Structure formats: C-alpha cells, structure tokens
Structure 1
C-alpha cells in the first residue's frame, strides 16, 4: 500500500467514505500491526500516548482513515442510544481495493508475519464491478478485511 505523506486541499465534495471505526483492545499494538503488516501510515500515535487524543488512526489513502477505538471507552459512548453495545461486535468485513502490486505485496507481508489468509477468490462483485482477485484476513482484534484488485 502506498503511504500518503501529505494532504492537499480537498475541494471535491462528492460523497465518499471518510473513516471506519474499529474496536481494538490495544490501539498502539493495532497501529503497529496496520503499519508493519498492512502498510498503513499511523496517525496521532504520540498524541494518543500523551493523552491528547482519545484514539489513534491509520491512513488507508488520501481520503480515508481507520480509527482504532479502544474497547475500554465503550461504556462512555453516548452519541446514539446503544452505541456502547457495539463494542466487541465488528462489522462483517471492510474491503480495501488496491493496485495489483499492492495486493500482492500485502498478501506477501501477511504471510511473512504468519497472519492467516483465505484462498484467493476470482471475479467477486464490488463497488467497481468484478474484481480480478480477492482474499480475506483478520487483524489481531478479530476485525475481518477483504483485499482486492480490479486491474
């Protein structure tokens, strides 16, 4: 995965996915997994460690991040009724689409780090039509990810 190093001024206001919040046991360990194994850029790690941010994040691309929310704060979640009950109930899966080289590199890193991966699927339907190949893996907190490429 390519790391985003700077963000330009976003003037395009089309609808898009901004972030996904994942419940994790240890946000620092989760950030390390996403950086080392998945290849994502960690954000706000030092601020989190210093108590200045409630959670760190990792950058998927220029427009999308994954927030690594500690399960320990679930009892304080008040944005909507029942929000705290979502702790420990990850979504079915989050899918990331990559260029073919990034897809192959991710699978290789996961295998090198002994992260179990599923068999390859072919021609699975997604946001851009049929993806050439895809596979699934879990992060250390049990969140399921699908990786795919359309090229």
Structure 2
C-alpha cells in the first residue's frame, strides 16, 4: 500500500500587508498571531487556530521554497466553527465585515456544511461553516 497523508499541519498565505492580515484573522476569526524564528534566522509570522496554522509570506519577499506563482488574493479557505452562523453574522456585522453570501448549504470534507462567505484584506474568499445537523 502506498503511503498516505493524514492531516494538514499548515498552509502558506501570501499577503500584501501582513499587519492588516494579522488584524483581520485575529480580530475577525479569533486566531492567535505568533512570531517564530526558523532555522534560517529570519522572523516569520503565523496565525494559529485549533491544531493548525497559517504561515504568512509577504508578496515579493516570500521564503524559499514557495509556490510557483504566489499571489495575494488567490486563496479560497473554509474554516469550521462550533458557533452558530447567526452568532458569526452578528460578530461580523459589529466589526463592519460584509457577508458576501450565505448561509448556504455546501459539502465539506466530512459531509454537509452550512456556510457564510467573507473576504480578507487581500480579497481571499473566507468561508465560515457549521457542520450540518
């Protein structure tokens, strides 16, 4: 049998303004920002949530190796939340973050989900979803 992967550890998001991205992901989505020092001695920023993280690369100053054509605004990310989407809509509204669509039924990795969509500062599509009952 061929080897298989079992989980996502992290992904890299290329951003145009790291401070704006950190503010959005921490204030709007409740992630925790962390600076870390990899073996190459540079200082990098990660956004932590659950058992995963998003590493931020600044457009034009990406760390090697990187995607062939990294660009701000090219991601489409879905995050699961136990909080009802009505709570999310109230939270987003209080912060002035427009809901672009939803709630709408979708299909997640493990089955049906109910989702709303917003955009981050670079225009990445951010889906916030509840597992459907």
TM-score, normalised via structure 2 length:
0.78
The aligned counterpart of 2:102 is 120
Q: What are the ranges of 5 or more consecutive residues in structure 2 without an aligned counterpart?
A: none
2:32 to 30, 41, 51: 41
In structure 2, the residue matched to 1:73 is 61
1:100 aligned counterpart, secondary structure: coil
Q: Tell me the secondary structure at the aligned position of residue 56 of structure 1.
A: strand
| Counterpart Cα distance in 1 of 2:73 and 2:101 | 25
CA distance in 2, matches of 1:26, 1:123: 32
Give the conservation status (yes or no) of the 8 Å contact 1:120–1:135: yes
Paired residue for 1:64, among 45, 52, 58? 52
Residue 22, structure 1, aligned to residue 13, structure 2? yes
Tell me which residue corresponds to 2:124: 143
Aligned to 2:93: 111
For structure 1, the 5+ residue unaligned runs are 1-13
8 A Cα contact 1:22 1:67, kept in partner? yes
- Alpha carbons of structure 1 residues 28 and 87: separation in structure 2 relative to 1, 3 Å: same
1 or 2, which has the higher strand percentage? 2
State how far apart, in whole Å, the 2-side matches of 1:106 and 1:67 are.
24
Give the TM-score of the pair, scaled to structure 1.
0.70
**1:78 Cα deviation from its structure 2 partner:** 4.6
